[in-house]
Amino acid sequence: MSLFRKMALIIAAISVAVLSGCSGQEYNMREGVTEISREVYDLHMIVIWVCVVIGVITFGAMFYSMFAHRKSKNPNPAKFSHSTTVEIIWTVIPFIILIALSIPAVSLLIKMEDASNSELSVMVKGYQWKWEYKYIDGDDNLGNDVSFFSNLDQASRDLSNNAGSGFSGVEITDENYLLEVDNPLVIPVDTKVRFLVTADDVIHSFWVPDFSVKKDAIPGFINEVWTKVDEPGIYRGVCAELCGKDHGFMPIVVKVLPKEEYEAWYAEKVAEAEAGPDLNERTMSQLMAEGEVAYNKYCSSCHMPNGEGNGPFPSLVGTEMVTGEGTIEQHIDVVLNGVSGTAMQAFGNQLTEAEIAAIITYERNAWGNDTGDKVQPQEIHDIQNGGGE
């Protein structure tokens, strides 16, 4: 018994020490910033306390018996092995508790699944390994003017890759490490926003804990989920469904703005879209500089920063398609349209003409490929819009 007591004390001491050392955010579900998320949190706390009470009673009886009915204290065991009454009691009581728990759960669930009367719809599309947000602005405008991709920020990616090796790694202190993106999703406060969640390649899952929103993004199907946020702010989430290599590197950042600010942001985005793409001619060094940035952002997680590829992802260094003569069209085609049945995506509708031109130029000239080939944004634009000329 003394050994047992010691162990129990140690375990209790460790847990107290641990819990007192951190704030609730670090070990419990967060309350979040929507009516639904607070109700979810309340239900979560109710279930926890119900479990704690049942646990205390059950384990209390068990520990009492372990202590009081030891052989040294109770050398002659009782003979009973059956009692219909108590068996009925401990079947019925849990049943009643569960029914009682299910009542608030049922009504909350029905509320969560009701996405009707939303004021704004945003399509959320998962890709390996980024998100695309497309604003569907009422019935009269299905032009989807405003849409953009949201990638993990470069700082997190660099930190992750340069964290050293072994147990003596670099200490990472950035609070938003792996939780920061280049273009956050922007929505207005106090507005019922409906997310239409889908995916391009494999299953992803759109999760923003502060909204208590988690919905799988399934290729070929559209799921609906909604939120109505009370407070402006920046809220961070992650992809929750294993979606391949960089599953852990596709965060979600939602910027909730006051309504007027949101309107201003939206108008700016529309104006940007209407201005059309930047197709100005670029010099070789401009293309290489822009290409390096874009390559590291969109391509290097598979083809690696040194272009040498990794496992199933092919090397681009000295490869026929990248360095061979007259292969430029094929190279452009692969980048624009992807390779079906592989992880190589169609980047044609994800990146701007300028980015694609810069990436291809960069790939054909970096890492000693040195082909001297140059691709201009206009060429990409013509191929995308002229098709089969």
Partner 1 sequence: MADHKPKGISRWLFTTNHKDIGTMYLVFSFIMFLIGGAMAMVIRAELFQPGLQFVDPNFFNQMTTLHGLIMVFGAVMPATVGLANWLIPMMIGAPDMALPRMNNWSFWILPAAFGLLLSSLFMEGGAPNFGWTFYAPLSTTYGPPSTDFFIFGVHLMGISSIMGAINVIVTVFNMRAPGMTLMKMPLFVWTWLITAFLLVMVMPVLAGAVTMMLTDRHFGTSFFDAAGGGDPVLFQHVFWFFGHPEVYIMILPAFGIASAIIPTFARKKLFGYSSMVYATASIAFLSFIVWAHHMFTVGMPVKGELFFMIATMLIAVPTGVKVFNWIATMWQGSITYETPMLYALAFVILFTIGGFSGVMLAMTPVDWQYHDTYFVVAHFHYVLFPGAIFGTMAAVYYWLPKWTGRMYDEKLAKWHFWLSIVFVNLTFFPMHFSGLAGMQRRVPDYAIMFSDFNMMSSIGAFGLGLMQLLFAWILIKVCILEKGEKATDQVWEGAEGLEFTHMPSPAPYHTFDTPPKID
Q: Please tell me whether residue 181 adopts helix, strand or coil conformation.
A: strand
Binding residues among 264-323 for partner 1 as defined by CB under 8 A:
310-312
* H/E element, 123: strand 120-127
Phi, psi of 290 (to 5 degrees): -65, -35
Query: CA-to-CA distance for 363 and 381, rounded, in angstroms?
Result: 19
Binding residues among 213-252 for partner 1 as defined by CB under 8 A:
213-216, 218-221, 223-224, 237-249
Taking CB under 8 A as the criterion, the residue among 9, 27, 264, 278 binding partner 1 is: 27
Taking CB under 8 A as the criterion, the residue among 56, 66, 264, 267 binding partner 1 is: 66
Nearer to partner 1, 248 or 324 (CB): 248
Q: Exposure string (b/e) for 189-220, b if CB count within 10 Å is 16 or more?
A: beeebbbbbbbbbbebbbbbbbbbbebbbbee
Taking CB under 8 A as the criterion, the residue among 13, 16, 106, 264 binding partner 1 is: 106
85 lies in the binding site for partner 1 (CB under 8 A): no
Binding mask 320-359 for partner 1 (x = CB under 8 A): ---------------------xxx----------------
Taking CB under 8 A as the criterion, the residue among 166, 276, 368, 388 binding partner 1 is: 166
**Token duo for residue 40:** 């979810």
**Token duo for residue 64:** 């009492």
Beta bridge partners of 230: none
Nearer to partner 1, 171 or 389 (CB): 171
Taking CB under 8 A as the criterion, the residue among 135, 207, 295, 347 binding partner 1 is: 207
Q: What are the C-alpha distances in Å from 298 to residues 127, 151, 301, 344?
A: 12, 8, 7, 11
Please, what is the minimum distance in Å from the beta carbon of residue 365 to partner 1?
27
Query: CA-to-CA distance for 38 and 236, rounded, in angstroms?
Result: 17
11 lies in the binding site for partner 1 (CB under 8 A): yes
The full DSSP string for 302-320 is HH-TTS--BTTBPP-SS-H
Binding residues among 46-65 for partner 1 as defined by CB under 8 A:
47-48, 51, 54-55, 58-59, 61-62, 65
Taking CB under 8 A as the criterion, the residue among 38, 112, 277, 337 binding partner 1 is: 112
